[in-house]
Amino acid sequence: MTHLLVANAAAGSTEDEALTAATTALQAGDPGADVELVRCQHPDDLEAALDRLDGRVLVMAGGDGSLHLAVNRLHDRGELAAATLGLVPLGTGNDLARGVGIPLDPAEAGAALASGAPRRLDVLVDDTGGVVVNATHAGMGAEAADKAEGMKSALGPLAYPVGALVAGVRASGWQLQIVVDATPVHDGPTLLVGVGNGPSIGGGTMLCPDAVPDDGLLDVVVATGVAATERVAFAAALRKGAHTERDDVIVARGTEVVITGDPVCHDVDGELTDEHPTRTYTVLPQAWALITP
C-alpha cells in the first residue's frame, strides 16, 4: 500500500525521530509499503498535497487539529467519502486517536497502520459547512482550552485539566437553549455544552463518555450549574470523569443539536472559534475512513 505522510515543516528533532519510528514500523509490518513524506508549512500547503494524493492513504502526523484540517479540506473538495486516512498521533491531546484505539507511541501507530483496516467514522457538520471530527464544546470548555493553550509548552497534556480548573473558577455562565432532534433539553443558565462524536477532549478528559464515533449519533452534555461552588465542583468532577452523575448535568443523544442564546466561543477539535449566538451540529454518518487497529 502507498502512503502520503504529511507532517509539520517546522518539526523539531523529537518529532523527526517519531516520524522515522512510525515509518520504520509501517514498512516492517508491510514490506511493500511506499511512504512519501511531505512537510507542510501552512494549511494551504495541504491543498497541494491533496492535489497529488492519487488514491494513496493520507497519513496525518499530528493531533486532532491536523486531522480536523485534512478532513475539512477533503470534505470541501467533495473527496472525503472516497479517501482513506491514517494517523500518527503527535499532538498534545490526541483525543480522536484515544477514542478509536490508535496507539499514541509513534512506532506502535506505524505498526497499526500496517496491520489495521479502514473503519468508517461519522463527522459532525455545522451550519456553515464546517466539519467536527472528534468533539466540540462551548462555554467553560472553550475557556478551559483557551487557558490551557498558554500552558501546553510547560505542562503538556496536564495543561487541559489545569485550564479546566481555572476556567471553572472564573466562568460565570451563559444563557443558552439546547435543542436535540427538535426536543428542547435545556433553556437557561449554562456553564458548558459539549457535543461529542468521540468521547474525550483535552488529552483524555471523558466529556461525552458514551460517545462512539461510528454509531450515527452525537452525544450532548450540558452543565447547568453556574454558581461559584457549582462551577468548581463540576470542573473537579469532569477531571475525575464523574460529571455525568451530577444533578446539574443533562445528557442527551441524537442526530442534530441546536445551540442558541448568548454569543459564545466554541472549541472545535481543539481550535477556538469566534463567539456565535447560534450553532447547529448534524451527524453525517459513515462519512470517512480511518485506518484503525
User: Of 115, 148, 176, which one is at a domain's C-terminal end?
Assistant: 115
- pLDDT exceeds 90 at position 77: yes
Is 292 among the domain residues? Answer: no
Examine the domain organization and report whether 40 and 135 are in the same domain.
Answer: no
What residues make up the domain containing 193?
A: 131-285
Examine the domain organization and report whether 102 and 25 are in the same domain.
Answer: yes
Examine the domain organization and report whether 138 and 187 are in the same domain.
Answer: yes
Is 291 among the domain residues? Answer: no
Examine the domain organization and report whether 88 and 28 are in the same domain.
Answer: yes
Mean pLDDT of 245-274: 95
Is 260 among the domain residues? Answer: yes
Residue 279 is part of a domain; what is its CATH number?
2.60.200.40
Is 121 among the domain residues? Answer: no
| Per-residue model confidence as pLDDT tens digits over 102-142 | 999 999 999 999 999 999 999 999 999 999 999 999 998 67
CA 42 vs CA 8, 69, 79, 124: distances in Å: 9, 11, 21, 25
Residue 3's H or E segment, with its range, is strand 2-8
User: Of 115, 141, 166, which one is at a domain's C-terminal end?
Assistant: 115
| Per-residue model confidence as pLDDT tens digits over 146-163 | 555 554 455 455 445 445
Examine the domain organization and report whether 24 and 168 are in the same domain.
Answer: no
Examine the domain organization and report whether 148 and 259 are in the same domain.
Answer: yes
CA distance 75 to 34: 25
Residue 99 is part of a domain; what is its CATH number?
3.40.50.10330
Examine the domain organization and report whether 143 and 105 are in the same domain.
Answer: no
What is the tally of structural domains in the chain? 2
Mean pLDDT of 15-23: 95
The pLDDT, as a whole number, for residue 108 is 98
The pLDDT, as a whole number, for residue 146 is 55
Examine the domain organization and report whether 37 and 169 are in the same domain.
Answer: no
